[in-house]
Structure 1
């Protein structure tokens, strides 16, 4: 196995960190596959097919069919419509983690946009690139209101307003000169606002953390999420939500988490 460069190692480490925040528990083989992708010893197509085939061999338990069709769901199931034709949630999650991890690595290894290129349209495109292998509706704004663990996100009609607030927060920050404190505040503001907008039916977290990495690339720091516990991240995200669904999110709960994840580039270390 070819040894990873510092940039490739960083891409794999931060990809795994982002997926773990969403519940992935990668095996040793999964990590080996990601290393191979990063150095280019396996093609993207072969990687996807291997994981699709492995997911297809899983035993699928019989479940009670849902009577009514619902937006985004495979008819008769509670499984999101997907490009692999899976009707079982476990099968879909296995291949979704693998497929999006591959795209996240690619994104980390490509040149990041300048902050002035980041707007709502860019965010939709980012989601489309990360989730396009899995969902036909990747990169499209959700058309249903959603809740998670009892917490409601912005109503569909308010998504555009919150994404405009994200644009304003990005434009208001001098990313090239921000110190650690200012940078943690700016990142927390962007993420809290974006997370409440929750513009996509699925994949908001991974798209959001990738966006943070890309914004940090214009600074004197790196973002290392590998030491962030998933429960801590979820709690900070939840606590940043406004008291009312149409109110203003608070960046305060996210600030200490993101401040701790910032690594000064000047120490010569690529996390």
Structure 2
């Protein structure tokens, strides 16, 4: 076990002694927090603090550093996972400021002329967020909920948990190489206006009667 994983294990609040035990218990605990988050989302202004608040909500019962990024934890240098290398820890505050300042300047995508432009904008943002990868653990789950809040803010429903882990992983790996097409397609296929969702739910209800 390397020092990076050892630090992760030592910071858990659930008494896990191995990484396998930690991740198994984490999944169980966080899955319950995910359901709560759907009905009790943390308040925020869709800035970086909002992202951190989501992470804290999901992982506060598991990790002592929930809601803190790698810079807050003093973890510097590159962070790699599978075939990807993410932002250096010491650069996270500066890069996060760039990403979320740009999001605000784009008016949180409220001015997108159609769903194609909206999906492209959201894919670009998610790609940047994934490259930042600010947290030691839990980045994917946190950013998916942030995208959900971002879509809701402009009248859309987006649930990226409906996408299989394999398809999402492949799209994110492509995005790390600057190819956002797969990510854009996945987002577009799952974006629904609230009116569309209501119509779908009503039609399903009629078929069941």
TM-score above 0.5: yes
Of 2, 15, 18, the match for 1:88: 18
Structure 2 residue 126 is matched with structure 1 residue 191 = yes
Task: Give the secondary-structure state (helix, strand or coil) at the position aligned to 1:137.
Answer: coil
TM-score by length of 2: 0.80
- How many aligned positions are there? 193
Find the structure with the greater CA-based Rg: 1
Unaligned runs of 5+ in 1: 1-65, 243-248
Partner of 2:65: 137
Paired with 1:210 and 1:253, the residues of 2 have a C-alpha distance of: 19
Paired with 1:139 and 1:72, the residues of 2 have a C-alpha distance of: 18
Check conservation: 2:108, 2:150, Cα contact below 8 A.
Answer: no
Q: Which has the higher contact order (CA 8 A, sep 6+)?
A: 1
Unaligned runs of 5+ in 2: 205-209
TM-score by length of 1: 0.63
Of 191, 196, 201, the match for 2:136: 201
Deviations 1:66-115 (A, max 9, x none): 5x7x25626xxx8463101111222212221121122222221125656x
Paired with 1:252 and 1:158, the residues of 2 have a C-alpha distance of: 27
Paired with 1:141 and 1:224, the residues of 2 have a C-alpha distance of: 24
Shift of 1:174: 5.1
Structure 2 residue 147 is matched with structure 1 residue 212 = yes
Question: Measured at CA, do residues 127 and 224 of structure 1 come closer, stay the same or move farther in structure 2, by a change above 3 Å?
Answer: closer
Shift of 1:209: 0.2
**Structure with more helix by fraction:** 2
Of 86, 91, 94, the match for 1:153: 86
Shift of 1:182: 2.3
Paired with 2:49 and 2:43, the residues of 1 have a C-alpha distance of: 13
